[in-house]
Amino acid sequence: MTKEIQKSSLKYIVAVAFAVIAAALYLFWAFPYRAALGYREEMQLFQTTGTYFAGFALRPAGIAIYIGEFLTQFFNNYWIGGAVMSLLMVMFGLSCYVICNKFTSGHSKTNNLLLSLIPLTFLWRFFGNQDVTLGFITALLIVTFGTYLYVSTDYDYPSAEKCLRVIVATSLLYWVAGPITIVFTLLIIAFTCSSRQISVGKKAIVATVAILAIIANIYLWSIFITYPFSYQLIGIGYLLTPDVLNSYQLIFEALCVIVPIAAHLMARGNASTKRILPILVLFVVVPAVIRYSKSYDKTTYRLIDYDYMVRANDWEGILRYSDAHNPDLPLSVSATNLALGMTGQLDSRAFDYYQNGTEGLIPPFSKEAISSWTTAEIFFQLGMINSAQRFYYEGMEAIPNYNKSSRAVKRLAEIAMIRGEYKLAEKYLRMLENTIFYRKWAQRNLEQIKDLTAIAPPIYCQLRQRMIDEDYLFSEAELDKTLGQLFIKDPGNDLARQYLILYPLLQRDLDKFVQYMGVVAESLPQYNPLLAQQALAFISMKNGQPIPKNMVSPMVEQSLRGFAQAWTSKNPELIEPHRHTLFHYLISNE
Amino acid sequence: MKYKSHTESTQRIINALQCFVCCLLFVLTGCVEKPTDVKKVNFLPTIFPDYVGVTIPAEIAPLNFSVEGAERVDVTVKGENGGELHSNGKYADFDIDKWHNLIEENKGKTLTVSVCAKIEGKWIQYEDFPVNVSQYPLDEYGLTYRRIAPGYEVYSKMGIYQRNLSNFAEDAIIENTMTDGQCYNCHTPNRTNPKDFVFHVRGEHGATMISKKGECTWLKASNDTLGGAMVYPYWHPEGRYCTFSTNQTRQGFHISGHKRLEVFDLSSDVIVYDTEKNEILRDTLLNTKAWSENTPSFSPDGKWLYFTTCLQKNYPLEHKDEKYNLCRIAFDPNTGRFGSQVDTLFNAVAMDKSVTWPRPSYDGKYMLFTLSDYGYFSIWHKESDQWLLDLATGEARPVEEINSDEADSFHNWSDNSRWVVFTSRRGDGLYSNLYLTSIDDKGRFSKPFLLPQKNPEEYYTQSLFSFNTPDFTKEKVEFDTRAAVDAILSDERIPTKVR
């Protein structure tokens, strides 16, 4: 009776423990790390078609990666995405727990619960690498489920039957889940060896067959698949970067094997061994949780956060984030400038934040997805539609695992509509129609391009009108001239105007600034933002001329005089309050 | 614990099997829906791909197609000489063997295609349309081509592939996933013979690979005395020589308008590579400083070297003035010497146009080339069209029967000079696909048809690749890809000598 009560209370404890973990993981992914979900989602374009599935079916781990991509599409909505992530991780924790129970023949379940927290913690840490895909965790779950199924049905079969089971299970798992099947191989060897009912000879046969089976699978698949051998060993699709072996992956996979074996050994051990277990787990799990930021690199995640907000066009969010985190990386500077421009504050507040020259306005092309897409978004908002198209396209082609991108294809469809390339737009929209989250949007737009007389969404009309008429070849060195043309084409293009004014200031080219202000003044004679006043006051003081009171406010004049005094004093303490000003930028060369 | 009896378990299995068979029958019978209450209309169906009135070789794979807006289709194909084929489903999907039996029986005759489609719940019977089975055989195994996303500077997965034209099988000859994302291009067989071919590897492990009778030689991609890397190859018919141009290629990106990018060369010359002596043959007339010589090819008798030439300008500023003429120079295969004069075969500059990709038919009758407003990378030029030059009369004409409003570009002839494969962006304006057409005795081409696929609509909608540099292949290309990958990664290259 007491045992039964203990059993039911243990069940209750297990359920509560995993529920708490699930809730914590949900909060973690749905809130502070929701951008990481968005990052994974934008790095794929999952389609619900047979052709798409066929691309996965004939490679090891293909099925797991396919399921992983299917689940990843739900990251489009971070409420659901957080739940998916949390559920998968908890499922893994539970699978570890039940495998440990099998290894201990149902004894020491409390210990097993504690032990299963170790791989779960390491899995969570491993997912700090933003390039780990859900394909990995899916493969892992398939393998742990396969292991559980195997050990649950591992009766005293004759040797030949046992070997056949091992070969079939290994081959099936290797096809579906890929090289992580090694966890299955090692666990079934350990399980077989731990059995007292099986003879030593039989154990040796099973172990040999298991090892040969996995080696044979690796070799046979390597003949057919068109990837380097090393990729196959790492696991094609486990990470977005198929050529990088992450040491965490190895440690984690080793833990998946060690923990059930440790559970088995501890269950056999004496009472004192069992007592030290909670302390042992505490020493592993607690520091791993506390020091999680070692795996969740701050700099990387800041960039991912910016990328997420740029994608959502959350300009106010970017500015709040920049106020809190002082942007100083090329992507964060350019995203902040874009947000300032989109909220009409760039020509007054640009130097409230760190500036790194004109590259902070429009970064040069780099063969990398998220920085390309941030630059693409700048071009898109400016009305440089051709360049936006190029950067969105190139960003997509730079995804290291050769995936396509839902985010990029959606924007490319919009760009095609803006450019009036309706057949091309239709192609992209038809692809998006084969997705869950973009289907309605795609169908709405397909209807629209069918009926070209229908009124296009205002944003498309506006951007189409902004496109400059003169065609020439893109030049990074002459982007300011293009900004000027954009402004001349559409004087209502606030973003182009602000970028045009800031561009020469970031080059510290005051003559050019005066020239560009003249261009703006032709269309907007009243335009006199704070930065223009500061620049004008600075030029006047530099040339030894009186500051024009009708164009420069007393406050600007006063701040310039304050800066001049501080600068001439060469006292760093006095200069420091002026560090985030145009004056300091112009004079300091920092 | 209760144990189920043996009989009980067996009964459960039998029940499950019965259930499964019932479900299977339901699914199978549900897949065929016969047209009822059919309404006849007097217009043709809008089908994808557009196979209405096309001419096909008897060896071609089934022309599967879908009907716009149709939930289901019921298609019957009848041969003029007899035979009938039927397909019922979401799209017209013909059995490969039955298809071949039907068209074999109807060589040189016409097939009549009757289409019935269920649209918004109602069946419609369209007007029948013909498909002509050519009397001319294809005599080729299939096609080789490169598949790559039509991007700018970055490329994702790409490779060189071969496609069996009798069915839908496609195999990779080499893919860049095997070698950390190298770029492969310009796979070129000698007159569709897969034993002799060449292709280039670009990037970190760059090389020019020459395969002769199955033996591979990996050459250094460039030679210090040449202006740039060897590109755009074409074989001499005897197989000893292969001509290339050596281009210092640059790209530019349009800031506005409908064009996306431009390719231009800071310099380019034409050379001939002697595969027996590992020697590069040059000539002052093909290596001028003031002119760019480009996109060479040999005449089928091997006595002429065709190429395009353009006055070198200041690029990228004057990229719109890059205009090529079609020229030729004599070539003596015995000595490897060139003639002393260059003849202009087609003066495109006089038309304010530019010639590229001259490809003579192997019977020596015609020269097919691409004409665009400027430049030579015609796939990025919407206005580019195919032109045919009659080599006997010197008359040239735009091949209107195969041209489209979008870019029509690179092309090659079948070995019997009866069929042409070419790239075109007529589908959506960006992704180039392959079209086949046949030429009759009067030099008229048939309506081109899109390379068939098992489910063309799904395939082409989902494909984010362009097909380029297509060519026919007489037989399946046998290539030891693993050995090639090892050779590429080894970086062991044979330097070329200049004569």
Q: Which ranges constitute the DSSP H helices of A31-108? A: 34-42, 50-57, 62-72, 78-103
Pick B175's closest partner by Cβ from A226, A389, A399: A226
Mutate to test the interface with A, among B171, B175, B262, B461 (most CBs of A within 10 A): B461
Q: pLDDT, tens digit, for every residue of A407-462? A: 999 999 999 999 989 999 999 999 999 999 999 999 999 998 887 666 567 778 88
Q: At what angle do helices A134-152 and A159-177 cross, to 10 degrees?
A: 170
Q: Which residues of A touch B157 (CB under 8 A)?
A: 402
Provide the H-helix boundaries in A326-382: 330-342, 346-349, 369-382
Burial of A567 (0-12, 13-18, 19+ CB in 10 A): middle
Among A398, A404, A482, beta carbon nearest to B154 = A398
Q: Closest CB to A394: pick one of B152, B172, B180.
A: B152
Cβ-based contacts of A470 with chain B (< 8 Å): 256
Q: What is the CATH number of the domain that holds B68?
A: 2.60.40
Same-domain status, B449 and B485: yes
Chain B hits for A384, Cβ within 8 Å: 255
- CA dihedral of residues A349, A350, A353, A355 (deg, nearest 10): -170
Subunit contact A386:B316, Cβ cutoff 8 A: no
Q: How many CB atoms lie within 10 A of CB A17?
A: 17
pLDDT at A398: 96
Interface test with A, best of B155, B256, B264 (most A CBs within 10 A): B256
| Residue B13 belongs to some domain of the structure | no
CB atoms within 10 A of CB B397: 10
Pairing of strands B449-450, B466-473: unpaired
Show the tokens assigned to A221.
């698949």
User: What share of chain A has pLDDT > 70, as a percent?
Assistant: 98
Q: How far is CA B480 from the centre of its chain?
A: 23
Together in a domain, B122 and B204: no
Tell whether B66 and B164 lie within a shared domain. Answer: no
Q: What is the pLDDT of residues A153-182, one digit of tens each?
A: 987 788 899 999 999 999 999 999 999 999
B380 min Cα distance to partner chain A (Å): 14
- B245 and B108 together in one domain: no
Residue-wise pLDDT tens digits, A206-226: 999 999 999 999 999 998 888
CA distance A14 to A20: 10
Indicate the average pLDDT of chain A.
93
Q: What is the pLDDT of residues A119-161, one digit of tens each?
A: 999 999 999 999 999 999 999 999 999 999 999 998 778 889 9
Instruction: Tell me how far apart the alpha carbons of residues A508 and A260 are, in angstroms, rounded to a whole number.
Output: 64
pLDDT tens figures, A542-580: 999 999 988 999 999 999 999 999 999 988 899 999 999
State whether A384 and B464 contact (CB < 8 Å): no
Residue A28 backbone class (left: φ over 0; alpha: ψ -120 to 50; beta: rest): alpha
**Contact call for A228 and B455, based on CB within 8 A:** no
CB contact under 8 A, B177 and A387: no
Task: For residue B47, report the phi and psi dihedrals to the nearest 5 degrees.
Answer: -115, 155
Nearest CA in chain A to B427: A423
**Which residue pairs, CB below 8 angstroms and at least 24 apart, start in B460-464?**
B460/B48, B460/B49, B460/B427, B460/B431, B460/B433, B461/A427, B461/A430, B461/A431, B462/A47, B462/A49, B462/A51, B462/A52, B462/A431, B462/A434, B463/B431, B464/A404, B464/A431, B464/B149, B464/B431
Predicted confidence band at A277 (pLDDT cuts at 50, 70, 90)?
Answer: confident
Instruction: Give the residues of chain B that fall short of pLDDT 50.
Output: 1-14, 22, 28-30
Amino acid present at B148: I
Q: Where are the domains of chain A?
A: 2-293, 299-466, 528-590
Query: Is A384 in contact with B255 (Cβ distance < 8 A)?
Result: yes
Using CA atoms, how far apart are residues B175 and B481, in angstroms rounded to an integer? 9
Whether residues B255 and A402 touch (CB distance < 8 A) is answered with no
| Dihedral sign, Cα of residue A178, residue A179, residue A183, residue A185 | positive
Domain C-terminal end among B109, B133, B157: B133
Closest Cβ–Cβ partner in A367, A397, A434 for B149 = A397
Provide the pLDDT for residue B498.
86
Q: Do the Cβ atoms of A397 and B428 come within 8 Å?
A: no
Q: Look at residues B161, B207, B163, B151 and name the one whose alpha carbon lies nearest to residue B182.
A: B207
- Strands B396-398 and B385-390 turn out to be antiparallel
B340 and B283, same structural domain?
A: yes
Query: What is the C-alpha separation between A188 and A150, in angstroms, rounded?
Result: 8
Same domain? B160 vs B123: no
Distance from CA of A101 to the nearest CA of B (A): 22
Instruction: For residues A177 and A66, give the distance between their C-alpha atoms in angstroms, rounded to a whole number.
Output: 10
pLDDT per residue as tens digits for the range B83-138: 999 999 999 999 999 999 999 999 999 999 999 999 999 999 999 999 999 999 99
Per-residue pLDDT at A2: 62
Number of domains in chain B: 2
Residue finishing a domain among B133, B155, B172 = B133
Last residue of a domain, one of B133, B154, B184: B133
pLDDT score, position B491: 85
Report the CATH number of the A299-466 domain: 1.25.40
Please indicate whether, in this complex, the C-beta atoms of B255 and A431 are within 8 angstroms of each other: no
Measuring CA to CA, which residue among B154, B61, B175, B465 is closest to residue A51?
Answer: B465
Cα–Cα distance for residue pair B160/B156, rounded to 1 Å: 14
**Which residue is it, tokens 């007339």?**
B285
Distance CA A269, CA A277 (A): 11
Sort out which chain B residues have CB atoms less than 8 A from A387's CB and list them.
Answer: 253, 255
Cα(B429)–Cα(B449) distance, rounded to whole angstroms? 17
Closest residue in A to B319 (Cα) is A473
Q: Minimal Cα–Cα distance from B134 to chain A, Å?
A: 31
| B24: in domain | no
Name every residue in B having a CB less than 8 A away from some CB of A: 149, 151-157, 159, 172, 175, 177-180, 252-260, 262, 316, 319, 427-431, 455, 458-459, 461-462, 464, 481, 485
* Chain A residues within 8 A of B428 when measuring between CB atoms: 421, 423-424, 426-427
Please report the number of interchain residue pairs, chain A to chain B, with beta-carbon separation below 8 angstroms: 107
User: Could you count the other beta carbons within 10 Å of the beta carbon of residue A25?
Assistant: 23
> What pLDDT, in 10s, does the model give residues B304-357?
999 999 999 999 999 999 999 999 999 999 999 999 999 999 999 999 999 999
Task: Indicate if B386 and B255 belong to the same structural domain.
Answer: yes
Determine, yes or no, domain membership for B199.
yes
Partner-chain residue, chosen from B152, B178, B258, that has the shortest CB–CB distance to A393: B152
Residues B119 and B181 in one domain: no
> Cβ-count burial of B109 within 10 angstroms (0-12 exposed, 13-18 middle, 19+ buried)?
middle
CA-nearest of A89, A76, A84 to A43 is: A76
Distance CA B121, CA A100 (A): 57
Closest partner residue to B156 among A51, A52, A402, by Cβ?
A: A402
Continuous H helices in A153-270: 159-177, 181-194, 200-224, 229-234, 247-268
The answer, yes or no, to whether residue A278 has pLDDT greater than 90, is no
Contacts of A304 (CB under 8 A, 6+ apart): A35, A36, A38, A39, A130, A370
Q: How far apart are CA A544 and CA A538, in angstroms?
A: 10
Residues of chain A neighbouring B262 (CB-CB closer than 8 A): 473
Return the CA Rg of chain B.
26
Question: Is the CB of B255 less than 8 angstroms away from the CB of A386?
Answer: yes
Sign of CA dihedral B34, B40, B46, B52: positive
Domain match, B158 and B65 both: no
* B165 and B92 in a common domain: no
Count CB-CB contacts under 10 A for residue A32: 12
Q: Is B262 within 8 Å of A473 when comparing Cβ atoms?
A: yes
- One DSSP character per residue, A475-492 reads -GGGHHHHHHHHHHH-TT
A8 exposure class (CB count in 10 Å sphere: 0-12, 13-18, 19+): exposed
Which residues from chain B sit within 8 angstroms of residue A227, using beta carbons? 177-178
For A272, counting Cβ atoms within 10 Å of its Cβ (0-12 exposed, 13-18 middle, 19+ buried), the class is: exposed
CB contact under 8 A, A424 and B430: yes
* Co-location of B318 and B442 in the same domain: yes
The DSSP secondary-structure symbol of A455 reads: P
- Using H for helix, E for strand and C for coil, what is the string for B150-170? CCCCCCCCCEEEEEECCCCCE
Nearest residue on chain B to A52, alpha-carbon basis: B462
CA neighbor of A28 nearest in space, from A81, A92, A94, A97: A81
pLDDT in tens, A308-365: 999 999 999 999 999 999 999 999 999 999 999 999 999 999 999 999 999 999 999 9
- Reference B175, options B422, B426, B488, B430; nearest CA is B488
**CA B145, CA B159: separation in Å to the nearest integer?**
8
pLDDT of amino acid A279: 84
Q: What is the 3-state secondary structure (H, E, C) of chain B?
A: CCCCCHHHHHHHHHHHHHHHHHHHHHHHHHCCCCCCCCEECCCCCCEECCCCCCEECCCCCCCCEEECCCCEEEEEEEECCCCEEEEEECCECCCHHHHHHHHHHCCCCEEEEEEEEEECCEEEECCCEEEEECCCCCCCCEEEEEEECCCCCCCCCCEEEEEECCCCCEEEEEEHHHHCCCEEEEEEEECCEEEEEEEEEECCCCEEEEEECCEEEEECCCCCCCCCEEEEEEECCCCCEEEEEEEEEEEEEECCCCCCEEEEEEEEEEEEEECCCCEEECCHHHCCCCEEEEEEEECCCCCEEEEEEEECCCCCCCHHHCCCEEEEEEEECCCCEEEEEEEEEECCHHHCCEEEEEEECCCCCEEEEEEECCCCCHHHCCCCEEEEEECCCCCEEECCCCCCCCCEEEEEECCCCCEEEEEECCCCCCCCEEEEEEECCCCCECCCEECCCCCHHHHHHHCCCEEEEEEEECCCCCCCHHHHHHHHHHCCCECCEEC
Distance between CA atoms of residues A103 and A438, nearest Å? 46
Domain of B112, in residue numbers: 39-133
Looking at the structure, do residues B179 and B123 belong to the same domain, yes or no?
Answer: no
Q: What is the pLDDT of residue A10?
A: 84
Q: How many residues does chain B have?
A: 499
B215-219 and B207-212 as β-strands: parallel, antiparallel, unpaired? antiparallel
Spell out which chain A residues touch chain B, with contact meaning CB-CB distance below 8 angstroms. 47, 49-52, 226-228, 243, 365, 367, 384-387, 389-390, 393-394, 396-399, 402, 404, 419, 421, 423-424, 426-427, 430-431, 434, 467-474, 482
CATH code for the domain in which residue B462 is found: 2.120.10.30
Judge whether B17 lies within some domain.
no
Round to whole Å and give the CA distance between B459 and B116: 23
| CB nearest B157 (choices: A402, A426, A474) | A402
Question: B18 lies in a domain?
Answer: no
Q: Look at B118 and A11; give whichever has higher pLDDT.
A: B118
